[in-house]
Amino acid sequence: MPEEHVITDIRRSPRGARLEVYVDGERAWQLTRKYLDKLGLAVGQRLSSDALTTLRQTIALHETRDAALRALGQRARTRADLGQRLTTRGYPDWAVTATLDWLAERGLLDDAQYAQDRVVSLRQRRLGSRAIELKLQQEGVPQDLIREVMAQRAEELHETELARKTAEQLNARWSAQEWPRRRARIYQYLARRGFDGETIADALERLEPGDESSEVM
């Protein structure tokens, strides 16, 4: 005779927000009332081993999707970032993969759009291209997509113009300092913001006092 399992109890969790479902005397899940009703679970209900396995998978997928949607509700994420977050929290690999695919199919997870939007927001923070590329990489955007997006938006990024304007503002802010000290601080600031040496040199050359001799660092 096939093995059967029984839902032996359904009780409110200590925190009161969810209901604990017990199978064969052991706690199996914590579910919302709405989802419990959707599944149609009740005390005394008998489940075959196959039915219990299917139920476990259904609930695992539901919980993974729910966690993913909550995470995306906080902020946009890349597929890699969200996947790592879910895996770290203990959701099954197969459920994580299925959830990521489900989100992508619905347009809720789009690395290309994420990268496009992120480039704009990072540029508004006056970051250079190198810093933007590193940030995208850290956030899980695939390297080939980073190259593609940066190439697409190259004309919009105005790297040289941004470096020049930033250097001019810093030069005015630190005008009380001697030029060599001022130049060094501007260079260090732009370098930290991800501008390359050639772009920084161009910006500093335009600020170079005509009556002072100094070399671009």
How confident is the model at residue 214, as a pLDDT? 41
Average of per-residue pLDDT across 183-204: 84
Beta bridge partners of 48: 4
- Structure confidence by residue, pLDDT tens digits, 51-81: 999 999 999 999 999 999 999 999 999 999 9
CB 80 within 8 A of CB 140: yes
List, in sequence order, every beta strand (DSSP E) within the chain.
Answer: 4-12, 19-23, 26-31, 46-48
The pTM assigned to this predicted structure is: 0.72
Token pair, residue 49, equals 């081993």
Residue 207 CB neighbours (<10 A): 16
- Structure confidence by residue, pLDDT tens digits, 100-145: 999 999 999 999 999 999 998 888 888 888 889 999 999 999 999 9
Q: Which helix (H) or strand (E) holds 138?
A: helix 129-138
CB 70 within 8 A of CB 39: no
Average of per-residue pLDDT across 180-201: 84
Burial class (CB in 10 A: 0-12, 13-18, 19+), 162: buried
Token pair, residue 105, equals 């199919």
Kindly tell me if the per-residue pLDDT of 217 is higher than 60: no
- Structure confidence by residue, pLDDT tens digits, 4-56: 999 999 999 887 789 999 999 999 999 999 999 999 999 999 999 999 999 99
pLDDT tier at 210 (50, 70, 90 boundaries)? Answer: low
